[in-house]
Amino acid sequence: MIVGIIGGGQLARMLALAGQPLGLEFIFIDPGTGISAASAGQHWQGEYDDPTLLRRLVAAADVATYEFENVPPATIEYLAEHMAVFPSARALDCARDRLHEKSLFARLGIPTVAHRAVNSRADLTEAVAVLGLPAVLKTRRLGYDGKGQAVLRDMADLDAAWQRFHGTDLILEAFVDFGRELSIIAARSRSGDIRFYPLSENVHDRGVLAYSRGQPADARTEEACRYMASLLRELDYVGVLALELFEVGDRLLANEMAPRVHNSGHWTIEGSETSQFENHLRAIVGWPLGNTAPLGHTALFNCVGYLPDPVAVMKIPGAHWHDYRKPVRPGRKVAHITARAADAPGLEAAITALKALLPGHVLG
Ligand code: AMP
pLDDT in tens, 354-364: 988 886 654 43
Q: What spacing in Å lies between the alpha carbon of 207 and ligand 1's midpoint? A: 7
Listed in sequence order, the DSSP H helices in the chain are 10-19, 51-60, 73-82, 89-95, 98-107, 121-131, 157-165, 221-234, 268-271, 276-285, 310-314, 344-357
Cα separations in angstroms, 222 against 111, 227, 229, 256, 260 = 15, 9, 10, 18, 22
At 363 the pLDDT is 43
At 362 the pLDDT is 47
Rounded distance between C-alpha atoms, residue 16 and residue 1, angstroms:
12
Nearest atom in ligand 1 to the alpha carbon of residue 136 is 19
User: Could you tell me the residue range of the domain that residue 193 belongs to?
Assistant: 180-355
Q: What spacing in Å lies between the alpha carbon of 115 and ligand 1's midpoint? A: 13
Q: Looking at residue 166, which CATH number applies to its domain?
A: 3.30.1490.20
Statement to judge: residues 200 and 168 lie in one domain? no
Examine residue 58 and state whether it is found in any structural domain, yes or no: yes
What letter would DSSP give residue 153? Answer: -
Statement to judge: residues 169 and 187 lie in one domain? no
Express each pLDDT in 189-245 by its tens digit.
999 999 999 999 999 988 889 999 999 999 999 999 999 999 999 999 999 999 999
Examine residue 109 and state whether it is found in any structural domain, yes or no: no
Give the binding-site residues of ligand 1, using a 6 Å CB cut-off: 113, 136, 143, 146, 173, 175-176, 181, 204, 207, 244, 255-256
Q: What spacing in Å lies between the alpha carbon of 156 and ligand 1's midpoint? A: 21
Statement to judge: residues 150 and 15 lie in one domain? no
Statement to judge: residues 278 and 157 lie in one domain? no
Angle, CA of 333, 336 and 337, to the nearest 5°: 160
Express each pLDDT in 96-110 by its tens digit.
999 999 999 999 999
Statement to judge: residues 196 and 236 lie in one domain? yes
Average pLDDT over residues 169-175: 97
Statement to judge: residues 262 and 326 lie in one domain? yes
Q: Looking at residue 62, which CATH number applies to its domain?
A: 3.40.50.20
When divided into structural domains, the chain yields a total of 3
Statement to judge: residues 162 and 262 lie in one domain? no
Statement to judge: residues 226 and 344 lie in one domain? yes
Nearest atom in ligand 1 to the alpha carbon of residue 113 is 19
